[in-house]
Structures are given as C-alpha cells and as structure tokens.
Amino acid sequence: MANVVVVGAQWGDEGKGKIVDWLSERADVIARFQGGHNAGHTLVIEGKVYKLSLLPSGIVRGGKLSVIGNGVVLDPWHLVSEIAKLRDQGVEISPDNLLIAENTSLILPVHGELDRAREAQNSVAKIGTTGRGIGPAYEDKVGRRAIRVADLADEATLDLRIGRLLTHHNALRAGLGLDPVDAVRLKSDLMAIAPQVLPYAAPVWKVLTEARRAGKRILFEGAQGALLDVDFGTYPYVTSSNTLAGQAATGTGLGPTAIDFVLGIVKAYTTRVGEGPFPAELHDADGERLGTRGHEFGTVTGRKRRCGWFDAVLVRQTCATSGVTGIALTKLDVLDGFETLKICVGYDLDGKRLDYLPTAAEAQARCTPIYEELEGWSESTEGARSWADLPGAAVKYVRRIEELIQCPVALLSTSPERDDTILVTDPFSD
C-alpha cells in the first residue's frame, strides 16, 4: 500500500483541506507532521463546513485514526477547544481515533505573549506572524527547554521544566518591558489541562510503524506551504518549521522510506497572506477579481490575501525541494471569464533573467516577473469532473503549467466540493 505526503507548494492556502479530505476517505491513518494551530483547513462535507487549525483533517471522518506527530507544536488549550467545537458539530473524538505524540512540544501562554510583543515592537519589518506563539515554541524546542506532552504526567519533571523555561523567558520579558511569568500559576494551569490531554498521548512512531507493517495507508498532512519553509522559504517571512515533504519523516518518526508519493497542492494562481516578497503580485483590477472570486481571506487570521498570476518559477522550485511526484491543481474555476491569462516564467533581476528565486531577501524584493500570455476561456469549469468537461483553453492552460513546472497534474479541483475533482493519477496506487 502506498503512503502519501500532502504539502502546499506555494505560500499556503492552496486548498489542502479539501484534497486531504478527498484522500482521507481512502486512507487508514492521517498524520499531521509540522506547524501548530496557525494552520487553516476548511472542509466542506455534504454541505457542512468544518474549520480546523490543529487537528488532522481526517478527524471528521469515522473509522480513521488521526495523529498529531512530534513535529507539531501543540497548544493544549486550543486542542481542547477545537475538540469541543467539533463535538458540537457531531464529530466523535476519543483516544480511539486521535493520538498525540508523547514527545510533542507544547505552546504555552508565554509563547503567544512573546510572539505578539516582538511583532508589536518590530515596526521596521514585521514578519506577519499569527501571534499564536508558534515561533517561540519552536525556539524553546531547539533550545532544549520546551515542556512536552509526556512532562504533564510527572509533577517533579514538570517543576524542572518550568524552572528552566522561565529562567530564559523572564530575562527576555524584562527586556521587552513585560512582567515575569508566575511559575505557580503556569504549573497550576498545566496540571489542570493535563487530564484532558494525556489520554491522547502515545508513542506515535511505534503506532505508525505497526500500521505500516500491517499494510495500512498513511496520509501525511502538512500545514502552511513550501515557500514558508524556515530553510527554503522567503526568509525571514516564513513560518518556524520545515514545511517540505521531508519533514513528514522526522515529524512523525516513521522514516523517509515510508514515503511513496508526494502530492503538492498548487492553486491555479498565486496568493500570499502577510508580509514578504511576491514577484507576481497584482495591484490592479485583475488582482482584485482573483481575490473576490476566490474568496481570498485567511482561514485563521481573516486577513485579505495578496493575489497574483500563477508563478511557475516558484512552483518548479518547490516541486524540486519537496520531491513532488504530482500536483493537485486547485481553484481552476476562479479563472473562468478572463480573456487573457498570464504565467510567470522567469524573473528579471537587474537586467539578468533568472529561472529560480534567489536566496537573498534583498534580491528577492528586486525580482520582477517575466510573463507568458495564454488565451482565457468564457465557459464555466466549476464542478467539472472529467477532462471532457473542460474548455479547450483550460486544458491548454493546465498542460502548459505541467510543462513549466516539470511535474504532472495528478488531481484537478474545480470547486470547494470534494467530489468536483478530476483524478489523473491515484496517489495511493502502488
């Protein structure tokens, strides 16, 4: 049985929620492997809308095991809140269908406070974080002072972890003009939430290994997008984790040999939330039209997304860094009615043509797009479920994208509804 990794191949918001849900019906296990509750996945199932930030998308489907891997940073209070919200929508959640890696690092109130304080003081060049403490939590993880899920089960260990954590944070807070953290209150809050989190704790690496040996299909679900990767994204305007497909191995403990297919989710145009370079961004009526037709507002932040034409340079680059086997092209229907479409096929940097995005932030900001124009189509593609349902110009557009990014289309999405999907290559096929 094949195991599939799903990653966003742009700046996020590519429609991963729908595609993961579409695939999860055929998977046995769905595992989140990085990020935190800064993700935003919207699922539409039989007309009912589910919005997830932390829980794997498979949680809304019965008979599936959902897993939060060690590569995730977990806000325990948000976890409990999101579980309660889904239960109110009729979703059954218990340790029978949700497990959390014991070695998952926690996001604490101190992390969110630090995140927001830094962003408020950084008036020169804001990063554009969600302010939810994701970055500071990852800092503590690599700084070896994090509190992890397993620590909640042992009071003596928790005391040691809190002491080490606050030695660092209270010094930082003093520099930012914040009051020191009350260690007694923090411990009390953690001890109070622990009974609601610990029942889900498990050696996830072992569970996944056994599932793989039993021939179970595992779907690895990423958050954010490849261009927000802390190493290969538009640094420093990135998230604080590795968002590429390789993180599925280290973020769950299953190992790279378990990955059989990498599916990159790609929007038929380009969007970005927050700060940072965006060579193909549009500041005209076409950009407004894309945003309006595509309902481009962040699921988590509610912020308006910046919009632009499809950037084949960036997607070719992310397909390479994530080892993408095939892409799922989403929101093709948003392009209906454009007389002319453009695709970014290169950049001009001080008179030199580039076929990749340079690493230096200053050079990225100076890149201007080189466009290729294609004929648009007036017919509707919304709801198309076969190639025969698509206008000829739409098929040509998709085929040109494949050529430019050097990667085939495996799935084509033509509306938010999960069944409005054209299957070209089955990612779960051996």
Residues making up the annotated binding site are 12-18, 38-42, 130, 144, 224, 239, 299-305, 331-333, 413-415
Give me the catalytic one of 41, 64, 267, 342.
41
Answer for the pair 113, 178: CB distance below 8 angstroms, yes or no. Answer: yes
C-alpha gyration radius of the chain = 22
Backbone angles phi, psi at 58, to 5 degrees: -70, -10
Helix or strand holding residue 7 (H, E): strand 4-8
Give the C-alpha separation, 273 to 33, whole Å: 22
Helix or strand holding residue 158 (H, E): helix 155-175
Is 182 annotated in the active site? no
Other beta carbons within 10 Å of 297: 14
Is 295 annotated in the active site? no
User: For residue 56, which amino acid is it?
Assistant: P
Give the C-alpha separation, 9 to 321, whole Å: 10
Q: Show binding-site residues for Mg(2+).
A: 13, 40
Query: Is residue 381 exposed (0-12), middle (13-18) or buried (19+ Cβ within 10 Å)?
Result: buried
Give me the catalytic one of 13, 115, 151, 311.
13
Answer for the pair 45, 83: CB distance below 8 angstroms, yes or no. Answer: no
> Bridge partners of 148?
105
Query: How far separated are the first and last CA of the chain, in Å rounded?
Result: 6
Backbone angles phi, psi at 354, to 5 degrees: -115, 145
Give me the catalytic one of 37, 111, 141, 169.
141
Whether the link from the prior residue into 236 is cis, omega within 30° of 0, is: yes
3 state SS of 259: coil
Q: Side by side, which strands form the sheet with 261-267? A: 201-202, 98-101, 65-68, 29-32, 218-221, 4-8, 261-267, 326-330, 409-413, 421-423
Structure tokens at 413: 């999405």
Give the C-alpha separation, 308 to 253, whole Å: 37
Answer for the pair 306, 370: CB distance below 8 angstroms, yes or no. Answer: no
Answer for the pair 406, 313: CB distance below 8 angstroms, yes or no. Answer: no
Give the C-alpha separation, 207 to 340, whole Å: 51
Is 78 annotated in the active site? no
Q: Show binding-site residues for GTP.
A: 12-18, 40-42, 305, 331-333, 413-415
Q: Show binding-site residues for IMP.
A: 13-16, 38-41, 130, 144, 224, 239, 303
Q: Show binding-site residues for substrate.
A: 299-305
Residue bearing tokens 């969007």: 271
Residue 410 DSSP class = E
Catalytic annotation, residues = 13, 41, 141
